[in-house]
A = this chain, B = another copy of it.
Amino acid sequence: MDELDSAIIRNLQLDARLTNRELARRLGIAPSTCLERVRALRDRGVIKGYHADVDLSALNRPVQAFVAARLRPMSRAVIDNFKAAIGALPEVTAMYVVAGDDDFLIHLAVPDLEHLHAFLIDRLSERREVISFRSSVIYESIRNPVLTELPG
């Protein structure tokens, strides 16, 4: 992980479809060298994959929300079961198992508030292990590229 690797990661985070040649040109190295570096990063698992960023509104799912849920009991069986069941729902775009006031944080993308409400009632309230939840509609999302270095 030298400065070259960091630069590669920075570039591919912003545009994963950069051609190898263009990436090499930006870094001032030969395409073959660049290719080898990128391959090594993938093999080492530093780069886990490449994903298209899709506009959820264009897919008729303009309403996004976080739902924080609390579960009881917090046994492995309950957690695994909940993860599998909720993760299989198409409305769910991400799920986080967290410490703190809540146990799960669920990110949703749905067509409208009615769908959100229906999800809460039909998918969460229905479940015995869910003892409470709070939902937060998302007004705005901002994503930051992850710089490798943490100054300070």
Q: In this assembly, does A35 line the interface, its C-beta being within 8 Å of a C-beta of chain B?
A: no
Q: Mask for A80-97, Cβ within 8 A of B = 1, else 0?
A: 000100010011111111
Choose one: B50, B55, B60; the contact of A48 (CB below 8 Å). Answer: B55
Contact B150 A111 (CB under 8 A): yes
Contact A55 B45 (CB under 8 A): yes
Say how many copies of this protein the assembly contains: 2
Number of interface residues of A (CB under 8 A): 63
Q: In this assembly, does A58 line the interface, its C-beta being within 8 Å of a C-beta of chain B?
A: yes
Task: Chain B residues near A151: list those with CB within 8 A.
Answer: 90
Cα A143 to Cα B87 with chains together (Å): 8
Q: Which A90-132 residues sit within 8 Å CB-CB of chain B?
A: 90-102, 105, 109-111, 115
Contact A146 B100 (CB under 8 A): no
Contact A96 B51 (CB under 8 A): no
Q: In this assembly, does A3 line the interface, its C-beta being within 8 Å of a C-beta of chain B?
A: no
Contact B52 A53 (CB under 8 A): no
A59 in contact with B136 given A13-B54, A17-B16, A54-B9 (CB within 8 Å): no
Q: 9 closest A-B pairs (Cβ-Cβ)?
A: A100-B136, A12-B52, A16-B50, A98-B136, A97-B140, A46-B58, A95-B142, A97-B139, A17-B50
- Starting from the known contacts A48-B55, A87-B144, A94-B143, 17 additional A-B residue pairs (CB-CB under 8 Å) come to A1-B58, A9-B59, A12-B52, A46-B54, A47-B52, A51-B53, A54-B146, A60-B150, A61-B150, A90-B151, A93-B144, A94-B144, A96-B139, A96-B142, A97-B140, A100-B137, A109-B146
